[in-house]
């Protein structure tokens, strides 16, 4: 037999004696120790011209090994031991040290042998063959190098049921080998095969430094794909029985039901194997350690290499192209495995060596620069990465040409960096160049061309160019389906990106099935626990989150976080991203206590893993700030927002989209703190930056316009805010469509501004249109739908359509209870709105439990000192005032004021509102003098904080005018009243409800001054405008009717006055209900008037007595209403006391007396319930204690209200 020759089966004729001898020798053979010498392998390859023929290892087995061993049914190594030739027997190790070779049978065997030969060259052995103490060992000769190769050492004739015995041989061979050598081919096929992955994993587990990576000329693009997608559970095998057997063995050996840990161990081991190839390196860390420990241990490997190469100017390890390739491979694998610090060190060493040896423009040097640029981009160091990309692009254009694939790859990578920096215009230019070049050079159907199509589509989507982006997404998807198939990961990624475009356009119904398709295919092809499955899983979760389907989104987010932690490790950056997403959905549900520790964990993890200045770290800072803002921890939120802003500006630049986003978010929280000037400047600067960066019509620019408009609205600058809100609405309608969620949100924002301006008729169709669209697109239970319903309910309340307001408020409350939970902050806000409607309808007993529920829920959820909790106390105190429980209201307002001063500060707008509200309670309780300094404090504070023309400031101006009127200082009251009226006309418009309230207040003041004609003119103007703007049945309109009735009474037009009172009564019964206090007040007036007519008779002789003096006019004026129904009834009571001079009960005498407020109040308490026929007959000179009891009670009611300062609270 030829020692290396091919022996045909028909030529094999062995005598019986020889057969018996062979059987004996075969039984003595130890397959696990039967490695072949490198010298024999070289002779074998030369003999059979393996290099020229390009035979794969599988073909070699089929054409050479199996025929040669068919007679004996043994391994080739065992057959060689039967030969009489001593040199052939010596080629088999049989107990001598050997190396275990891991290779892919589908690759040419000559390729594998070339890698092995290179590894064992003497100069290479001097680099890695050393003792444990670092001393170099002598190089081995080819005859002394034994390699255990399954091609020669495995019996290829075993029966299907005997695979377990073959596996035992392999395990024993791995255990006894000095090292395992993983031979990488250019396409990284070895990382996809089941047997190879199992052998590599076992080598990693057998001890540190037992696996080495022989890379050769591995393709780095293919290496990236293979390493990123490496998954033991999806590894391929020629025989499915082999695959099942190995998977079972792995699970049994590892003790894990899931293969995620095995995959992670293997990845870590492969990176360690690459690092082990570096000269003078210490053994790699064991793959069973945590990622952090490995990174630390392998950092020592890199440091050891650096120290060695720097000795004597680097002479101990001379530079070579091979060393450069090893460095670059190790850097790439560290980069792919997330060991970024190691990767950077290795990239820098590779670059420095190549620049020195090859020159700055050599393709290998440029490749090292490109790798370092990509690493810096991954670390978020965009400013450091950009000049490297520029250098690589310029160098490759000069050396390789503008259309070389590497040049185009650099253009694509540089475009990606510029996109991350928010430099969309320049990024688009490079992306288009890369696409056009690849189309020209590689063709339209090339995979890299399709990748460029996909990248350009994503970039255009960010720029808001959705139509072109959609066309490119579809082109990429169709191309991937044709070229790679419908189930390829790239195809599924393209499906997900098209879905994301639909989601961005608000076409959720089109996006959801695509996301579900992508997820289902990924789970089927890659497995539920594959890292690439987490992408579609997170995308679907985000869509469900946007749709408000949190009960579906939360378990998916939890699954993603758990899987990422299990597969990638607790400290992997993708795990932190999953934790951040989970915290976001918990925050949306109001589960703040559960969300905050998750966000804190994610932030701390990213700070440790990526560094405190990484963009993703700042994203976590921003998320945590948003949670603190939601919890109304505004001061803490500002600190984090400022940190994120400063860091992003320093790292990414002040014009980066993320920097500008932080600026906008900081502006929004500054508004909550009442720092309006800073907020406006911040929002304006963010808008300018976004307009420069992405254009005035981009989605980001429109978002900044929206923030600026909101700040201006909070400052009361309605005229400046309105065109901005309209710009946002028109821009989003044009770019996103009329039914996009962002468009509908803009519609609601504009409606809110119109509501604040009192333009209810214009606001209502906007709210209604947004609500209808959201119910159709998002569903009736979506949070945004319920938010629009909530806003429409508040509008209906302001418009005085209380029936509709109550219906909408109840729907919003019920919907939020179902969708968000009974204790969600938005649910509690809806409870407050419904309580406000019920309060406006006079149903105080129904409103109180809702206010109390909101207060209790906010105390439990947010804490006793949370601003929202204090708002609930403020509203409940307002209800107590409306109920006449002034003592309770006073105590509650004082407590809220004290807490707001402590939490928000003395100058915060909410604090000033509490000051104003407390003054209102004091005046209602008859303590006007005590209220005066509070009113002045509120007025001065609002002028200083909000400005002299803010609506809240003008509210204080009107209240101060009322105080002056109460004190009889009519000239000063006139000045304040005119100021409020003129400012409101200028800022809010002549028809704004606040403007009309000021006009009504002026009418009251003119009446107090006895200027009845002017009072009537002002009152009629207010009434006509309120009828036009608010409707004839609005409570404010009915208050104007009351005011006009009082003026008519003063002008002796009693029939007209009575008709107006009747109209007011009917309207209030219809709108407010019979039990409302305002309705009851008008009923008492008309009832009293009727009794007075029956008691005194109808004549007009009483008129001069009642109107005879200025004092009586002043008394009547003090009871006149400004805007509220209860105070309005006071003027009616005053006018209802007109009686005949010949009254049988002496009412004329009573009316002639200047009844003091205190005496009148006493009379009211004593005689209010007396019937006319029970009252004694009196004379004209009996004074205040004479006349019928009911008349004295009527005057008592009037007198008690005369001390109450009319206000707008």
Whether 741 is in a domain gets the answer no
Of the residues 135, 157, 177, which one is the last residue of a structural domain? Answer: 177
Distance CA 195, CA 248 (A): 13
SS3 label, residue 1138: coil
- At residue 1098's C-alpha, the angle toward residues 1097 and 1101, to 5°, is 105
pLDDT digits (tens, 9 = 90+) for 1027-1069: 887 788 878 888 899 889 888 888 888 888 889 989 999 988 8
Query: For the CA atoms of 764, 1126, 1154, 1010, what is the dihedral angle to 10 degrees?
Result: 10
CB within 8 Å of 1190: residues ≥ 6 apart: 1088, 1091, 1095, 1167, 1168, 1170, 1171, 1172, 1175
Calculate mean pLDDT across residues 1079-1089.
81
Distance CA 443, CA 659 (A): 39
Tally the domains of the chain: 2
Of the residues 120, 145, 177, which one is the last residue of a structural domain? Answer: 177
Whether 418 is in a domain gets the answer no
Q: Give me the sign of the Cα torsion angle 104, 109, 110, 116.
A: positive
Distance CA 222, CA 411 (A): 19
pTM summary value: 0.59
Distance CA 98, CA 35 (A): 6
| 898 — pLDDT class (breaks 50, 70, 90) | very high
Whether 661 is in a domain gets the answer no
pLDDT digits (tens, 9 = 90+) for 295-331: 444 554 455 444 444 443 344 567 888 888 889 889 9
- How many distinct helices (H) and strands (E) make up the chain? 59, 5
CB atoms within 10 A of CB 1157: 18
Distance CA 873, CA 157 (A): 86
Whether 647 is in a domain gets the answer no
| Token duo for residue 863 | 């804490």
Distance CA 300, CA 425 (A): 43
pLDDT in the model for residue 632: 67
DSSP-derived letter for residue 36 is E
DSSP-derived letter for residue 84 is S
pLDDT digits (tens, 9 = 90+) for 972-1006: 889 999 999 998 888 778 887 888 889 999 998 89
Structural domain boundaries enclosing 102:
14-177
Q: Which of 443, 124, 138 is nearest to 279 (CA)?
A: 124
Distance CA 727, CA 110 (A): 69
Least confident of 54-68, 121-135, 667-681: 121-135
pLDDT digits (tens, 9 = 90+) for 559-582: 988 888 887 778 777 888 888 889
Pairing of strands 36-37, 146-148: antiparallel
Q: What length is written for the chain? A: 1209
pLDDT in the model for residue 1097: 58
pLDDT digits (tens, 9 = 90+) for 432-467: 999 999 999 988 888 889 999 999 998 888 877 878
Distance CA 500, CA 502 (A): 5
Q: Which of 226, 174, 642, 648 is nearest to 421 (CA)?
A: 648
Whether 527 is in a domain gets the answer no
CB within 8 Å of 777: residues ≥ 6 apart: 506, 508, 509, 739, 741
Report yes or no: 628 and 636 within 8 Å, Cβ to Cβ. Answer: yes
Distance of CA 894 to the CA centre of its chain: 38
Q: Which of 3, 68, 70 is nearest to 40 (CA)?
A: 3
Whether 707 is in a domain gets the answer no
Of the residues 177, 193, 212, which one is the last residue of a structural domain? Answer: 177
SS3 label, residue 318: coil
Can you say whether residue 154 is alpha, beta or left, with left for phi > 0 and alpha for psi between -120 and 50 degrees? beta
Q: Which of 227, 445, 413, 176 is nearest to 330 (CA)?
A: 227
Whether 355 is in a domain gets the answer no
| Token duo for residue 1032 | 């004839």
| Token duo for residue 494 | 């393209």
Query: For the CA atoms of 485, 486, 488, 489, what is the dihedral angle to 10 degrees?
Result: 150
Calculate mean pLDDT across residues 751-757.
84
Sheet strand arrangement including 36-37: 36-37, 146-148, 99-102, 179-183, 211-214
Mean residue pLDDT across the chain: 78
Report yes or no: 484 and 521 within 8 Å, Cβ to Cβ. Answer: no
Whether 479 is in a domain gets the answer no
Q: How far is CA 12 from CA 15, 70, 72, 82, 686, in A?
A: 10, 10, 10, 14, 87
Phi, psi angles (nearest 5°) of residue 866: -65, 140
Distance CA 13, CA 51 (A): 31
SS3 label, residue 213: strand
| 256 — pLDDT class (breaks 50, 70, 90) | low
CB within 8 Å of 351: residues ≥ 6 apart: 365, 368, 369, 372
pLDDT digits (tens, 9 = 90+) for 777-824: 778 888 888 889 999 998 888 777 778 889 999 999 998 888 778 888
Q: Which residues pair with 130 in a beta bridge?
A: 136
pLDDT digits (tens, 9 = 90+) for 1129-1187: 333 333 333 333 333 333 333 333 333 333 233 223 323 333 323 322 233 333 333 33
CATH number of the domain within which 1042 lies: 1.25.40
pLDDT above 90 for 677: no
pLDDT above 50 for 693: yes
Report yes or no: 734 and 965 within 8 Å, Cβ to Cβ. Answer: no
């Amino acid at each position: 037999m030829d020692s290396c020759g091919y022996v045909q089966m028909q030529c094999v004729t062995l005598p019986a004696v020889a057969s018996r001898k062979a059987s004996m020798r075969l039984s003595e053979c130890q397959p696990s120790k039967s490695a072949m010498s490198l010298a024999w392998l070289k002779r074998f390859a030369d003999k059979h011209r393996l290099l020229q023929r390009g035979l794969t290892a599988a073909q070699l087995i089929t054409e050479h090994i199996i025929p040669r061993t068919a007679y004996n049914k043994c391994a080739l190594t065992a057959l060689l031991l039967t030969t009489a030739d001593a040199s052939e027997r010596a080629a088999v190790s049989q107990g001598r040290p050997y190396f275990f070779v891991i290779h892919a049978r589908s690759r040419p065997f000559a390729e594998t042998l070339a890698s092995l030969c290179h590894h064992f060259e003497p100069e290479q052995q001097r680099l890695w063959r050393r003792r444990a103490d670092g001393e170099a060992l002598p190089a081995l000769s080819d005859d002394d190098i034994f390699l255990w190769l399954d091609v020669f050492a495995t019996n290829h004739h075993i029966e299907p049921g005997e695979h377990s015995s073959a596996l035992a041989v392999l395990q024993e061979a791995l255990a006894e080998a000095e090292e395992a050598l993983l031979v990488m081919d250019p396409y990284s096929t070895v990382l996809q095969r089941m047997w190879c992955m199992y052998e590599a994993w076992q080598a990693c587990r057998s001890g540190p430094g037992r696996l080495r990576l022989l890379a050769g000329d591995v393709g780095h693009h293919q290496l990236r794909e293979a390493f990123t997608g490496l998954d033991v559970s999806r590894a391929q095998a020629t025989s499915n029985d082999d695959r099942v057997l190995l998977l079972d063995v792995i699970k049994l050996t590892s003790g894990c039901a899931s293969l995620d840990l095995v995959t992670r161990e293997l990845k870590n081991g492969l990176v360690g194997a690459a690092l082990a190839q570096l000269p003078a390196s210490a053994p790699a860390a064991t793959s069973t350690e945590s990622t952090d420990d490995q990174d630390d241990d392998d950092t020592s490997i890199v440091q050891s290499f650096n120290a060695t190469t720097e000795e004597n100017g680097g002479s101990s390890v001379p530079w070579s192209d091979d060393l450069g390739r090893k460095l670059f491979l190790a850097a790439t694998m560290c980069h792919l495995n997330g060991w970024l610090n190691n990767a950077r060190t290795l990239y820098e060493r590779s670059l420095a060596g190549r620049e020195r040896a090859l020159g700055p423009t050599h393709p290998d040097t440029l490749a090292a620069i490109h790798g370092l640029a990509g690493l810096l981009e991954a670390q978020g160091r965009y400013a450091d990465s950009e000049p490297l990309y520029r250098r690589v692009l310029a160098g490759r254009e000069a050396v390789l040409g503008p259309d070389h694939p590497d040049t185009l790859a650099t253009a694509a990578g540089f475009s990606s960096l510029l996109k991350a920096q928010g430099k969309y215009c320049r990024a688009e230019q490079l992306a288009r160049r890369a696409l056009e070049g690849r189309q020209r050079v590689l063709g339209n159907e090339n995979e890299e061309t399709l990748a460029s199509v996909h990248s350009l589509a994503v970039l255009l989507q960010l720029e808001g160019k959705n139509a072109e982006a959609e066309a490119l997404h579809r082109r990429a998807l169709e191309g991937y389906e044709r070229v790679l198939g419908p189930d390829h990961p790239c195809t599924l990624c393209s499906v997900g990106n098209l879905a994301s475009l639909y989601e961005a356009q608000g076409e959720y119904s089109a996006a959801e099935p695509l996301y579900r398709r992508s997820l289902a295919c990924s789970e089927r092809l890659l497995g539920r626990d594959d890292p690439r499955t987490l992408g579609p899983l997170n995308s679907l979760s985000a869509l469900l989150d946007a749709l408000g389907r949190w009960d579906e989104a939360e378990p998916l987010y939890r699954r993603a976080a758990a899987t990422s932690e299990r597969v990638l490790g607790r400290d992997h950056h993708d795990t932190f991203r999953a934790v951040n997403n989970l915290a976001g959905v918990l925050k949306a549900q109001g589960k703040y206590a559960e969300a905050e520790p998750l966000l804190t964990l994610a932030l701390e993890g990213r700070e440790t893993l990526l560094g405190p200045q990484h963009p993703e770290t700042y994203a976590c800072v921003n998320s945590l700030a948003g949670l603190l803002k939601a919890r109304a921890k505004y001061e803490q939120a500002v600190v984090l927002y400022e940190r994120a802003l400063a860091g992003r500006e320093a790292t990414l630049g002040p014009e980066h989209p993320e920097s500008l986003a932080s600026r906008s978010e900081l502006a929004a929280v500054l508004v909550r703190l009442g720092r309006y000037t800073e907020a406006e400047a911040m929002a304006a600067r963010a808008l300018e930056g976004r307009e420069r960066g992405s254009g005035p019509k981009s989605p980001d620019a429109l978002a900044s316009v929206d923030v600026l408009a909101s700040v201006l609205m909070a400052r009361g600058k309605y005229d400046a805010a309105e065109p901005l809100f309209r710009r946002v609405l028109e821009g989003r309608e044009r770019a996103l469509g009329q039914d996009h969620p962002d468009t509908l949100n803009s519609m609601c924002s504009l409606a809110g501004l119109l509501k604040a301006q009192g333009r209810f008729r214009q606001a209502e169709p906007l709210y209604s249109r947004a609500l209808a669209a959201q119910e159709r697109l998002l569903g009736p239970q979506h949070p945004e739908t319920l938010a629009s319903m909530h806003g429409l309910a508040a509008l209906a309340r302001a418009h005085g359509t209380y029936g509709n307001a109550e219906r909408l408020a109840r729907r919003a409350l019920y919907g939020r209870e179902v969708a968000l939970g009974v204790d969600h902050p938005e649910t509690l806000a809806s409870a407050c709105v419904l309580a406000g409607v019920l309060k406006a309808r006079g149903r105080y007993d129904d409103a109180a439990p809702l206010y109390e529920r909101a207060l209790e829920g906010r105390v439990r959820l947010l804490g006793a000192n949370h601003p929202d909790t204090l708002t609930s106390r403020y509203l409940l105190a307002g209800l107590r005032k409306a109920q006449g429980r002034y003592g309770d209201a006073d105590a509650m307002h004082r407590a809220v004021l004290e807490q707001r001063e402590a939490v928000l500060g003395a100058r915060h707008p909410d604090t000033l509102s509490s000051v104003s509200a407390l003054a209102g309670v004091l005046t209602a309780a008859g303590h006007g003098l005590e209220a005066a300094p509070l009113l002045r404090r509120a007025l001065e504070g609002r002028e200083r904080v909000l400005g002299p023309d803010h609506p809240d400031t003008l509210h204080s101006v009107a209240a101060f005018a009322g105080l002056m009127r109460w004190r009889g200082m009519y000239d000063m009251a006139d000045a304040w009243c005119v100021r409020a009226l003129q400012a409101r006309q200028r800022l809010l418009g002549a028809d704004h409800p606040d403007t009309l309230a000021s006009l009504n207040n002026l009418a009251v003041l003119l009446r107090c001054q006895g200027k009845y004609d002017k009072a009537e003119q002002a009152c009629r103007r207010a009434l006509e405008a309120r009828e036009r703007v608010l409707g004839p049945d609005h409570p404010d309109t009915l208050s104007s009717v009351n005011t006009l009735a009082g003026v008519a009474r003063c002008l002796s037009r009693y029939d007209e006055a009575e008709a107006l009172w009747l109209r007011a009564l009917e309207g209030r019964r219809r709108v407010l209900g019979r039990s409302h206090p305002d309705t009851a007040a008008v009923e008492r007036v008309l009832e009293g008037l009727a009794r007075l007519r029956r008691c005194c008779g109808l004549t007009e002789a009483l008129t001069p007595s009642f109107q005879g003096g200025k004092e009586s006019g002043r008394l009547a004026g003090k009871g006149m209403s400004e805007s509220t129904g209860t105070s309005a009834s006071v003027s009616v009571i005053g006018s209802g006391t007109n009686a005949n001079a010949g009254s049988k009960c002496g009412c004329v005498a009573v009316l002639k007396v200047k009844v003091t407020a205190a005496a009148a109040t006493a009379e009211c308490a004593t005689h209010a319930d007396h019937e006319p026929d029970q009252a004694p007959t009196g004379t004209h000179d009996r004074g205040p204690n004479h006349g019928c009891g009911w008349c004295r009670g009527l005057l008592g009611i009037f007198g008690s209200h005369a001390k109450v300062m009319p206000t707008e609270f």
